[in-house]
Amino acid sequence: MQFQVLPIVDHMIELYAKPRTAARFQEYLIMLQGSSGKDIILPIAGFNPMAKEHVLQKLMELRKLDVEKIMKEVTDEINLSLVRNSDPGLFKVALNLADDLKGGWTNRFSTDYDSKFKINALVSRQFCTPYFWSSEDYDKTLIRKRTAQYIFRTIYRLSNPAPTTLEQHIAQEFFVARNAKPGRSPVDTPGLKLLDDFYKQHKGTENHNIIFNFFYGDEAAKSLGYPAFGMKDNFSGFDYAEIIASEHDH
Protein backbone atom coordinates (compact mmCIF):
# COMPACT_ATOMS: atom_id res chain seq x y z
CA MET A 1 0.00 0.00 0.00
CA GLN A 2 1.10 3.54 -0.73
CA PHE A 3 -0.35 7.02 -0.13
CA GLN A 4 -0.46 9.84 -2.64
CA VAL A 5 -1.64 13.43 -2.16
CA LEU A 6 -4.60 14.32 -4.35
CA PRO A 7 -4.40 18.05 -5.24
CA ILE A 8 -7.60 19.70 -4.06
CA VAL A 9 -6.77 23.18 -2.84
CA ASP A 10 -6.56 25.00 -6.18
CA HIS A 11 -9.81 23.41 -7.36
CA MET A 12 -11.62 24.47 -4.19
CA ILE A 13 -10.23 28.00 -4.37
CA GLU A 14 -11.55 28.24 -7.92
CA LEU A 15 -14.96 26.99 -6.76
CA TYR A 16 -15.19 29.35 -3.79
CA ALA A 17 -14.19 32.33 -5.94
CA LYS A 18 -17.51 31.94 -7.76
CA PRO A 19 -20.74 33.54 -6.52
CA ARG A 20 -22.65 31.62 -3.82
CA THR A 21 -25.44 30.44 -6.06
CA ALA A 22 -27.20 27.22 -6.93
CA ALA A 23 -24.81 26.90 -9.87
CA ARG A 24 -21.86 26.72 -7.46
CA PHE A 25 -23.63 24.06 -5.43
CA GLN A 26 -24.29 21.99 -8.55
CA GLU A 27 -20.68 22.33 -9.65
CA TYR A 28 -19.61 21.05 -6.23
CA LEU A 29 -21.91 18.03 -6.54
CA ILE A 30 -20.43 17.16 -9.93
CA MET A 31 -16.93 17.44 -8.47
CA LEU A 32 -17.97 15.19 -5.58
CA GLN A 33 -19.97 12.56 -7.46
CA GLY A 34 -19.38 13.05 -11.16
CA SER A 35 -22.15 13.40 -13.71
CA SER A 36 -23.78 10.12 -12.66
CA GLY A 37 -24.21 11.23 -9.04
CA LYS A 38 -23.93 7.60 -7.95
CA ASP A 39 -20.66 7.51 -6.02
CA ILE A 40 -17.89 9.65 -4.58
CA ILE A 41 -15.20 10.34 -7.17
CA LEU A 42 -13.50 13.21 -5.33
CA PRO A 43 -13.39 13.08 -1.51
CA ILE A 44 -14.47 16.63 -0.68
CA ALA A 45 -17.52 15.93 1.48
CA GLY A 46 -16.01 17.89 4.38
CA PHE A 47 -16.29 21.16 2.46
CA ASN A 48 -19.39 23.32 2.67
CA PRO A 49 -20.05 24.24 -0.98
CA MET A 50 -21.96 27.37 0.07
CA ALA A 51 -19.37 28.61 2.57
CA LYS A 52 -18.76 32.32 2.85
CA GLU A 53 -15.66 34.29 1.93
CA HIS A 54 -13.73 33.40 5.09
CA VAL A 55 -13.29 29.81 3.89
CA LEU A 56 -11.76 31.06 0.65
CA GLN A 57 -9.37 33.16 2.74
CA LYS A 58 -8.40 30.13 4.84
CA LEU A 59 -7.74 28.09 1.71
CA MET A 60 -5.52 30.90 0.45
CA GLU A 61 -3.62 30.74 3.76
CA LEU A 62 -3.12 27.02 3.33
CA ARG A 63 -1.94 27.43 -0.24
CA LYS A 64 0.53 30.12 0.84
CA LEU A 65 1.97 27.58 3.30
CA ASP A 66 2.35 25.04 0.45
CA VAL A 67 0.06 22.74 2.39
CA GLU A 68 -0.04 20.00 -0.23
CA LYS A 69 3.75 20.04 -0.56
CA ILE A 70 4.02 19.51 3.20
CA MET A 71 1.40 16.74 3.02
CA LYS A 72 3.43 15.08 0.26
CA GLU A 73 6.55 15.18 2.47
CA VAL A 74 4.60 13.32 5.14
CA THR A 75 3.16 10.74 2.76
CA ASP A 76 6.60 10.13 1.23
CA GLU A 77 8.05 9.48 4.69
CA ILE A 78 5.25 7.09 5.62
CA ASN A 79 5.45 5.34 2.26
CA LEU A 80 9.08 4.44 2.96
CA SER A 81 7.97 2.45 5.99
CA LEU A 82 5.32 0.70 3.90
CA VAL A 83 7.50 -0.15 0.91
CA ARG A 84 7.74 -3.84 1.81
CA ASN A 85 4.02 -4.22 2.21
CA SER A 86 2.70 -6.54 -0.49
CA ASP A 87 -0.66 -4.76 -0.72
CA PRO A 88 -0.63 -2.91 -4.08
CA GLY A 89 -3.34 -0.43 -3.11
CA LEU A 90 -2.86 3.30 -3.75
CA PHE A 91 -4.69 5.60 -1.34
CA LYS A 92 -5.42 9.20 -2.32
CA VAL A 93 -4.95 11.73 0.49
CA ALA A 94 -7.12 14.83 0.13
CA LEU A 95 -7.28 17.82 2.45
CA ASN A 96 -10.78 18.75 3.64
CA LEU A 97 -11.51 22.15 5.17
CA ALA A 98 -14.60 22.09 7.37
CA ASP A 99 -16.29 25.35 8.33
CA ASP A 100 -16.84 25.51 12.08
CA LEU A 101 -17.10 29.30 12.18
CA LYS A 102 -20.02 30.31 10.00
CA GLY A 103 -21.21 27.04 8.50
CA GLY A 104 -24.69 26.35 9.80
CA TRP A 105 -24.64 22.65 8.93
CA THR A 106 -21.30 21.77 10.60
CA ASN A 107 -20.99 20.83 14.26
CA ARG A 108 -17.26 20.80 15.02
CA PHE A 109 -17.40 17.88 17.41
CA SER A 110 -19.72 15.46 15.62
CA THR A 111 -17.96 16.18 12.31
CA ASP A 112 -14.57 15.59 13.92
CA TYR A 113 -15.79 12.30 15.41
CA ASP A 114 -17.14 11.10 12.06
CA SER A 115 -13.95 12.09 10.24
CA LYS A 116 -11.88 9.93 12.61
CA PHE A 117 -14.09 6.95 13.39
CA LYS A 118 -16.68 6.64 10.60
CA ILE A 119 -14.27 6.18 7.72
CA ASN A 120 -15.14 2.77 6.27
CA ALA A 121 -16.79 4.26 3.18
CA LEU A 122 -13.68 6.31 2.44
CA VAL A 123 -11.24 3.48 3.15
CA SER A 124 -13.16 1.12 0.88
CA ARG A 125 -12.74 3.70 -1.92
CA GLN A 126 -9.06 4.14 -1.05
CA PHE A 127 -9.43 7.73 0.13
CA CYS A 128 -7.94 9.41 3.20
CA THR A 129 -9.19 12.86 4.20
CA PRO A 130 -7.25 14.85 6.81
CA TYR A 131 -9.63 17.46 8.22
CA PHE A 132 -8.69 21.06 8.90
CA TRP A 133 -10.97 23.73 10.39
CA SER A 134 -11.77 27.28 9.40
CA SER A 135 -11.26 28.39 13.01
CA GLU A 136 -7.66 27.13 13.15
CA ASP A 137 -4.34 28.89 12.75
CA TYR A 138 -2.17 26.83 10.42
CA ASP A 139 1.53 26.08 10.44
CA LYS A 140 3.80 23.33 9.14
CA THR A 141 3.75 21.41 12.41
CA LEU A 142 -0.05 21.24 12.46
CA ILE A 143 -0.21 20.18 8.81
CA ARG A 144 2.35 17.41 9.30
CA LYS A 145 0.68 16.12 12.46
CA ARG A 146 -2.83 16.16 11.04
CA THR A 147 -1.81 14.43 7.82
CA ALA A 148 0.09 11.66 9.60
CA GLN A 149 -2.72 11.03 12.06
CA TYR A 150 -5.34 10.54 9.37
CA ILE A 151 -3.07 8.29 7.32
CA PHE A 152 -2.44 6.03 10.31
CA ARG A 153 -6.18 5.90 11.04
CA THR A 154 -6.62 4.61 7.49
CA ILE A 155 -3.86 2.03 7.95
CA TYR A 156 -5.40 0.88 11.23
CA ARG A 157 -8.86 0.50 9.72
CA LEU A 158 -7.56 -1.75 6.96
CA SER A 159 -6.99 -4.51 9.50
CA ASN A 160 -9.54 -3.56 12.16
CA PRO A 161 -13.31 -3.10 12.09
CA ALA A 162 -14.99 0.18 12.93
CA PRO A 163 -14.81 0.65 16.71
CA THR A 164 -17.92 0.06 18.75
CA THR A 165 -16.68 0.01 22.36
CA LEU A 166 -14.74 2.74 24.11
CA GLU A 167 -11.81 0.34 24.38
CA GLN A 168 -11.78 -0.14 20.61
CA HIS A 169 -11.89 3.64 20.05
CA ILE A 170 -8.88 4.08 22.32
CA ALA A 171 -7.06 1.18 20.63
CA GLN A 172 -7.33 3.05 17.31
CA GLU A 173 -6.12 6.34 18.76
CA PHE A 174 -3.32 4.57 20.67
CA PHE A 175 -2.11 3.16 17.33
CA VAL A 176 -2.34 6.60 15.73
CA ALA A 177 -0.45 8.28 18.57
CA ARG A 178 2.33 5.67 18.58
CA ASN A 179 2.89 5.93 14.83
CA ALA A 180 2.14 9.56 14.03
CA LYS A 181 4.14 10.63 17.11
CA PRO A 182 2.31 13.93 17.62
CA GLY A 183 4.21 14.71 20.80
CA ARG A 184 3.07 14.13 24.33
CA SER A 185 0.12 16.20 25.49
CA PRO A 186 0.59 18.35 28.60
CA VAL A 187 -0.06 16.22 31.67
CA ASP A 188 -2.96 17.50 33.73
CA THR A 189 -2.66 15.15 36.71
CA PRO A 190 -6.23 15.53 38.06
CA GLY A 191 -7.57 15.38 34.50
CA LEU A 192 -5.55 12.29 33.68
CA LYS A 193 -6.81 10.49 36.78
CA LEU A 194 -10.40 11.45 35.90
CA LEU A 195 -9.97 10.08 32.37
CA ASP A 196 -8.19 6.95 33.53
CA ASP A 197 -10.86 6.15 36.11
CA PHE A 198 -13.63 6.87 33.62
CA TYR A 199 -11.99 4.74 30.94
CA LYS A 200 -11.49 1.76 33.23
CA GLN A 201 -15.12 1.96 34.33
CA HIS A 202 -16.60 2.31 30.85
CA LYS A 203 -14.12 0.73 28.42
CA GLY A 204 -16.56 -2.04 27.51
CA THR A 205 -19.46 0.30 26.76
CA GLU A 206 -20.96 0.76 23.32
CA ASN A 207 -23.02 3.76 24.48
CA HIS A 208 -22.21 6.51 21.98
CA ASN A 209 -23.06 9.27 24.47
CA ILE A 210 -20.44 7.99 26.93
CA ILE A 211 -17.82 7.45 24.22
CA PHE A 212 -18.41 10.88 22.71
CA ASN A 213 -18.24 12.55 26.13
CA PHE A 214 -14.93 10.84 26.86
CA PHE A 215 -13.34 12.19 23.71
CA TYR A 216 -14.87 15.66 23.55
CA GLY A 217 -15.97 16.68 27.05
CA ASP A 218 -19.17 17.94 28.63
CA GLU A 219 -19.71 21.15 26.67
CA ALA A 220 -19.35 19.39 23.32
CA ALA A 221 -21.82 16.73 24.47
CA LYS A 222 -24.29 19.38 25.62
CA SER A 223 -24.06 21.17 22.26
CA LEU A 224 -25.58 18.05 20.69
CA GLY A 225 -28.13 17.41 23.41
CA TYR A 226 -26.15 14.50 24.84
CA PRO A 227 -25.88 13.91 28.61
CA ALA A 228 -22.73 15.08 30.40
CA PHE A 229 -20.63 12.75 32.52
CA GLY A 230 -18.18 15.17 34.12
CA MET A 231 -15.46 15.15 31.48
CA LYS A 232 -13.25 18.23 31.19
CA ASP A 233 -13.23 20.11 27.90
CA ASN A 234 -9.51 20.96 27.91
CA PHE A 235 -8.24 17.41 28.44
CA SER A 236 -9.77 14.78 26.22
CA GLY A 237 -9.72 11.13 25.33
CA PHE A 238 -7.33 11.97 22.49
CA ASP A 239 -4.89 13.38 25.05
CA TYR A 240 -5.36 10.20 27.07
CA ALA A 241 -4.42 8.04 24.07
CA GLU A 242 -1.33 10.16 23.38
CA ILE A 243 -0.15 9.95 26.99
CA ILE A 244 -0.55 6.19 27.33
CA ALA A 245 1.17 5.75 23.95
CA SER A 246 4.06 7.93 25.12
CA GLU A 247 4.34 6.02 28.38
CA HIS A 248 4.29 2.72 26.48
CA ASP A 249 7.30 3.84 24.44
CA HIS A 250 9.39 4.90 27.45
pLDDT score recorded for residue 219 = 92
Per-residue pLDDT, averaged over 73-98, amounts to 87
- Three-class DSSP category at 91: strand
Q: How many CA atoms lie within 13 A of 236 on its CB side?
A: 17
Cβ–Cβ under 8 Å, residues 79 and 33? no
* Claim to verify: residue 40 and residue 135 sit in the same structural domain: yes
Per-residue pLDDT, averaged over 73-91, amounts to 83
Is pLDDT of 9 > 60?
A: yes
* Claim to verify: residue 78 and residue 122 sit in the same structural domain: yes
The rounded percent of the chain whose pLDDT value lies above 70 is 91
* Claim to verify: residue 145 and residue 226 sit in the same structural domain: no
* Claim to verify: residue 98 and residue 185 sit in the same structural domain: no
User: How far is the C-alpha of 15 from the C-alpha of 188, rounded, in Å?
Assistant: 43
Last residue of some domain: 126, 158, 190?
158
Is pLDDT of 85 > 60?
A: no
* Claim to verify: residue 10 and residue 115 sit in the same structural domain: yes
* Claim to verify: residue 130 and residue 239 sit in the same structural domain: no
Domain span holding position 178: 166-248
Last residue of some domain: 127, 158, 189?
158
Looking at per-residue pLDDT, the higher value among 86 and 4 belongs to 4
Pairing of strands 2-5, 90-93: parallel
- Three-class DSSP category at 93: strand
Last residue of some domain: 158, 180, 201?
158
Confidence (pTM): 0.93
Q: What is the pLDDT of residues 187-231, one digit of tens each?
A: 666 678 889 999 999 999 999 999 999 999 999 999 899 999 988
Q: What is the DSSP string of 173-242?
A: HHHHHHHH---PPP--HHHHHHHHHHHHHHTT---HHHHHHHHH-HHHHHHTTPPP-S--SSS-HHHHHH
Q: Where do the H-state alpha helices sit in the chain?
A: 9-16, 22-33, 53-64, 67-81, 108-117, 120-124, 140-158, 166-180, 189-202, 208-216, 218-223, 237-248
What is the total count of domains within the chain? 2
* Claim to verify: residue 33 and residue 153 sit in the same structural domain: yes
* Claim to verify: residue 134 and residue 205 sit in the same structural domain: no
* Claim to verify: residue 39 and residue 77 sit in the same structural domain: yes
* Claim to verify: residue 147 and residue 177 sit in the same structural domain: no
User: How far is the C-alpha of 137 from the C-alpha of 143, rounded, in Å?
Assistant: 10
